[in-house]
Amino acid sequence: MIAALLFAAMVSPQPSPNPYVIYRQALQRLGTLPQPRYIVETQRQLISTIRNGELRDQTDHTARYVYDSNTRRECGFFLPLSRTDQPFIGESHFPPDLWLLHPNGKPAPTSAGNVTPDVSDIKTIATALAMGRPSYNIRFVGIDTINGAKTYHLALKPLVDPHRHNLRELWIDVSNYNIVRAVIEGKYRLRDDDVLADTLVTEDFGDVGGYWLVVHKLWSYYRPFSAITYRFDFASLSMQFPPSVPVWLFDRKAFMAHAFSTSDPILKS
């Protein structure tokens, strides 16, 4: 009898971890992470053009972005810098620190769609650690290894307003509750005059200079009525965190006036 009970205890399945507790711990962790004032990132940008399911074209660029976490503006340009390539200067859509609570507390711009991750439950958690159900129905999927880390895999389904509550999957490090990978379901457009279209954004995180930041992102844009899909695969090659950057980086006219007459290392390959 005793042997039978011991055997039953050995083979009985262990209860799954509580996905709401894991989610709560991950958001609490986000709220404690440090955030750089400025980020200078060098990226590899692989952009694929797909027509009717077939790859038609692919470009491979090296680009540099300078991000201001307070204003949520960015300056981006291809390397090596060329007078024939206009920089992109405007609101940030995919900065590496977008999941963090930037100091001025303002929401990130959304003219590109709702690709900004929904971290609205952080405020609820901050005021009530024993909160009940958050904005999602959360299901524990299993334990996965992602980028060398053992993670809890969660699937999220919004209870209300799926446009705003756009998180769909999270992989959370079992050792420290850092988010290692996330999937966002939103709408995206390349330019302000484009039509918003459904997209899934997959983001991978990593430790860079003591900051926990997005180091890889993958998403697509289907241009309606064109049979063309653009697939974007952006990977970080390096990041620096200067205490200040030239103010002219965030003004197009001033950029063109300064960029080719300065030795600022930000502009160098």
Q: What is the pLDDT of residue 225?
A: 83
Residue 3 lies in a domain: no
pLDDT of res. 193 = 84
pLDDT of residue 157: 97
Q: Which of 241, 257, 261, 267 has the alpha carbon at shortest distance from 69?
A: 241
**Whole-number Cα distances in Å, 256 to 190, 261, 266:** 23, 9, 14
Whether residue 230 is contained in a domain is answered as yes
pLDDT at residue 104 is higher than 70? no
Give the rounded percent of residues in the chain with a pLDDT score beyond 70: 88
DSSP3 helix / strand / coil % (the chain, rounded to 5): 15, 45, 40
Count how many domains the chain has. 1
Phi/psi-derived region of residue 180, left when phi > 0, alpha when psi is between -120 and 50, beta in every other case: alpha
Is it the case that residue 211 has pLDDT exceeding 90? Answer: yes
Q: From CA 20, how far away is CA 72, in angstroms rounded?
A: 30
What percent of the chain has pLDDT above 90?
Answer: 68
* pLDDT the model gives residue 107: 54
pLDDT digits (tens, 9 = 90+) for 115-165: 889 998 887 665 554 455 689 999 999 999 999 999 999 999 999 999 999
pLDDT higher for 223 or 104? 223
DSSP code for 99: T
Distance CA 59, CA 63 (A): 12
In a domain, 92, yes or no: yes
pLDDT greater at residue 205 or residue 14: 205
pLDDT digits (tens, 9 = 90+) for 246-264: 999 999 999 999 998 888 9
CA distance 92 to 108: 8
Kindly report the average pLDDT of the chain as a whole number.
89
Host domain of residue 225 = 16-267
User: Is the pLDDT assigned to residue 205 strictly greater than 80?
Assistant: yes
- Contact assessment for residue 27 and residue 122, using Cβ atoms and an 8 Å cutoff: yes
Which of 255, 269, 244, 180 lies closest to 216, judged by CA?
Answer: 180
Residue 108, pLDDT score? 57
pLDDT band at 112 (very low <50, low <70, confident <90, very high): confident
Does pLDDT of 111 surpass 80?
no
Helices and strands (DSSP H and E) totals, the chain: 4, 11
d(CA 204, CA 213): 8
Q: In this predicted model, what pLDDT tens digit does every residue of 178-195 receive, in sequence order?
A: 999 999 999 998 888 888
Distance CA 231, CA 60 (A): 12
Judge whether 140 lies within some domain: yes
Question: Would you state the pLDDT for residue 194?
Answer: 87
Query: Averaged over 206-230, what is the pLDDT?
Result: 94
pLDDT, tens digit, for every residue of 3-46? 555 554 555 566 789 999 999 999 999 989 999 999 999 999 99
> Is-above-0.75 flag for pTM?
yes
Q: Is residue 64 part of a domain?
A: yes
In sign, the C-alpha dihedral spanning 224, 110, 29, 65 is positive
Q: Which residues contact 156 (CB under 8 A, 6 or more apart)?
A: 23, 136, 137, 138, 139, 167, 168, 169, 170
pLDDT of residue 114: 84
pLDDT at 105: 55
Task: Identify whether 10 is part of a domain.
Answer: no
Are residues 39 and 245 in contact, defined by beta-carbon separation less than 8 angstroms? no
